[in-house]
């Protein structure tokens, strides 16, 4: 589980930060904190769907659900468990 | 008349939230034509004040130029006031066709189609030329109107880090198998005043067989040696597949815009772009004004040269005074203050000194990147710039930020 958190955190750092030394934690507000703009969220969504072989419907892939690494992981786990 | 108290309440509450968040916008009424000096009433009911305007997109100072006004008058006499029609029914006059031809020549493209505004051009073009089989890859800082246009298109979308060519290349590789790939950028970015490195972008687009789209609204008329735009500056004229631009800034400042580029792409817009098909034609009086502007700019580079001299003078003055600026070489020169409240106070104090310049802060610019954005014009004379500089220095001293680094300013005022 921690592993998923780290994978998502690493993706967010690589994909969205200009300065890789910037501090980012599992709880950093990504969208409301202006780190990820909601328009650029699509690549993160696509990454999660491809990595975890799930499909996230638009009404669940909201800026709120994507606001922290922790909340993203909760969402992804819900869809993984639905799959099995 | 279903406007019940309940419905009214919904809007009142939403408006209150906007206000509480400090995002409520109010207009400042101007009682003169657009110029280097304007007469402003602010706030509402305050005595009118003559101020130096440092925040118009009137880059070439043509918005109220006597030649442009005269050409517009003439067009009004010869072609009437309005056309009461969209272009393809009975809204296309000889001068609309002439303007499309002149813009094609000016920008060095294959063809051009006029839109009611550049917002409309950006909103219409992607839907008109792309399908589900295609992908749009845009710089993260492109203008809001482009984002709207992207949202209206069925093609897949993605973004790359601002001006980061490695990241763009990564995305181009990721989408290698798409039918059509369009890389999307502003020529000059309006908030920072930096220019897209179009030479590198053209090379990448050639390597990965992608189209390149450039919104040159803040460049057309003055960037590049003869003012053709960002593609001229980077030596890639004829290599940009789609250029959109506005007549609402340097090119006379009235209204209107266009898509200019590959012949088939322009034709697709004529067939399918909804803001072209379903919105009224540009008024003949405006078309006549823009034609005059293009004629003047094609004959002489005097105005863009003066703009460049003015911009260099202003940038150097601010740097020598010890302000932190966003790096760049365009007439958009942001004075960085980082803290939103400081930017607001700074702007208010400048107004007291007779200088009209606006503070920008989150969400218009990133958190902690608040600034006063100054925009230079060929209408400014050196005495305007000297007076503005004296005011900036006076207010800068008051807040003790002259000669301070970003770190020191942030330590004093926070982000
Ligand atoms: C980059 C950019 N594109 C498009 C527009 C919209 O232009 P218009 O006023 O012609 O709709 C603007 C104006 O704010 C702009 O800055």
Q: Which positions in chain A touch B158 (Cβ < 8 Å)?
A: 42-43, 46
H-only helix segments in B326-405: 340-352, 382-398
What pLDDT, in 10s, does the model give residues B255-312?
999 999 999 999 999 999 999 999 999 999 999 999 999 999 999 999 999 999 999 9
The rounded Å distance from CA B255 to ligand 1 centre is 10
pTM here? 0.96
Minimum Cα–Cα distance from A37: chain B residue: B140
Nearest CA in chain A to B170: A15
Probe target for ligand 1 pocket from B57, B146, B217, with the most ligand atoms within 8 Å of CB: B217
pLDDT of residue B1: 73
How big is the A-B interface in CB pairs under 8 Å?
21
| C-alpha B118 to ligand 1 mean position (Å) | 5
Q: Are residues A42 and B159, on separate chains, in Cβ contact within 8 Å?
A: yes
**Would the CB atoms of A34 and B366 count as touching at under 8 Å?**
yes
- Whether the predicted pLDDT of A44 surpasses 70: yes
User: What local confidence, expressed as pLDDT, does residue B363 receive?
Assistant: 83
Q: Which domains does chain B have, with CATH numbers?
A: 25-54+302-413 (3.90.1150.10), 66-299 (3.40.640.10)
Query: Which own/partner contact pairs does B100-107 have at CB distance under 8 Å and 24+ positions apart?
Result: B100/B258, B102/B291, B102/B294, B102/B295, B103/B258, B103/B260, B103/B294, B104/B260, B105/B298, B106/B228, B106/B294, B106/B297, B106/B298, B107/B216, B107/B220, B107/B228, B107/B229, B107/B231, B107/B237, B107/B243, B107/B245, B107/B260
Q: Do B367 and A42 touch (CB under 8 A)?
A: no
How would you write A3-55 as a 3-class SS string? HHHHHHHHHHHHHHCCCCCCCCCCCCCCCCCCCCCHHHHHHHHHHHHHHHCCC
Q: What is the pLDDT of residues B129-160, one digit of tens each?
A: 999 999 999 999 999 999 999 999 999 999 99
Asked if pLDDT for residue A1 goes beyond 60, the answer is no
For residue B122, the ligand 1 atom closest to its alpha carbon is: 4
In chain B, which residues have their Cβ closer than 8 Å to the Cβ of A34? 362-363, 366-367
Number of the ligand 1 atom closest to the C-alpha atom of B119: 11
Task: Give chain B positions within 8 Å (CB) of A58.
Answer: none
- Tell me, using a 6 A CB cutoff, whether residue B248 lines ligand 1: yes
Predicted local distance difference test score (pLDDT) of residue A2 = 59
User: What total of structural domains would you count in chain A?
Assistant: 1
Q: Give residue A27's domain range.
A: 4-83
Atom index in ligand 1 nearest the CA of residue B189 equals 1
Does any ligand 1 atom lie closer than 6 A to the CB of residue B259? Answer: no
Q: Are the beta carbons of B310 and B318 closer than 8 angstroms?
A: no
Predicted pLDDT of residue B54: 98
Write the CATH number for A40.
1.10.1200.10
Which residue ranges of chain B lie beneath pLDDT 50?
Answer: none
Kindly identify which residue of chain A lies nearest to residue B137, measuring between CA atoms: A40
Which active-site residues of B does the annotation give?
190, 218, 249
Q: If pLDDT is split at 50, 70 and 90, which confidence band does A37 have?
A: confident
């Amino acid at each position: 589980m921690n592993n998923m958190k780290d994978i998502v955190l690493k993706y967010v750092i690589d994909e969205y930060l200009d300065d890789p030394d910037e501090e980012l934690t599992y709880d950093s507000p990504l969208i409301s904190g202006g780190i990820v703009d909601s328009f650029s969220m699509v690549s993160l969504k696509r990454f999660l769907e491809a990595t975890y072989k799930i499909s996230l419907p638009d009404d669940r892939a909201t800026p709120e659900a994507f606001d922290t690494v922790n909340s993203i992981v909760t969402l992804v786990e819900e869809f993984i468990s639905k799959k099995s | 008349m279903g406007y019940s108290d309940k419905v009214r309440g919904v809007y009142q509450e939403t408006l209150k939230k906007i206000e509480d968040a400090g995002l409520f916008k109010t207009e400042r009424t101007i009682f003169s034509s657009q110029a280097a000096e304007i007469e402003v009433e602010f706030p509402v009911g305050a005595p009118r004040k003559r101020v130096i305007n440092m925040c118009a997109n009137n880059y070439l100072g043509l918005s109220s130029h006597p030649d442009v006004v005269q050409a517009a008058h003439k067009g009004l006499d010869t072609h009437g006031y309005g056309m009461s029609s969209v272009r393809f029914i009975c809204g296309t006059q000889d001068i609309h066709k002439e303007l499309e031809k002149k813009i094609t020549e000016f920008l060095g493209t294959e063809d051009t189609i006029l839109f009611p505004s550049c917002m409309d051009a950006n909103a219409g073009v992607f839907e008109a030329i792309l399908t589900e089989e295609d992908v749009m890859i845009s710089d993260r800082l492109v203008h809001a109107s482009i984002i709207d246009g992207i949202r209206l298109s069925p093609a897949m979308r993605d973004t790359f880090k601002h001006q980061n060519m490695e990241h763009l290349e990564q995305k181009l590789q990721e989408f290698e198998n798409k039918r059509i790939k369009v890389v999307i950028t502003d020529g000059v970015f309006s908030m920072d005043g930096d220019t897209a490195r179009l030479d590198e972008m053209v090379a990448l687009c050639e390597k990965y067989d992608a189209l390149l789209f450039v919104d040159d609204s803040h460049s057309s008329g003055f960037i590049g040696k003869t003012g053709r735009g960002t593609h001229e500056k980077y030596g890639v004229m004829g290599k940009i597949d789609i250029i959109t631009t506005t007549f609402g800034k340097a090119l006379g400042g009235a209204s209107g815009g266009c898509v200019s580029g590959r012949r088939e792409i322009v034709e697709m817009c004529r067939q399918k772009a909804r803001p072209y098909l379903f919105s009224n034609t540009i008024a003949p009086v405006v078309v006549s004004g823009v034609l005059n502007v293009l004629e003047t700019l094609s004959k002489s580079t005097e105005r863009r040269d003066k703009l460049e001299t003015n911009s260099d003078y202003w940038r150097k003055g601010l740097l020598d005074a010890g302000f932190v600026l966003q790096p760049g070489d365009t007439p958009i020169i942001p004075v960085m203050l980082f803290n939103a409240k400081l930017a607001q106070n700074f702007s208010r104090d400048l107004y007291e000194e007779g200088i009209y310049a606006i503070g920008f802060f989150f969400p218009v610019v990133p958190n902690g990147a608040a600034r006063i954005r100054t925009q230079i014009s060929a209408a400014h004379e050196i005495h305007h710039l000297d007076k503005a500089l004296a005011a900036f220095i006076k207010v800068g001293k008051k807040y003790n930020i002259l000669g301070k680094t970003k770190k020191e300013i942030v330590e004093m005022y926070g982000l």
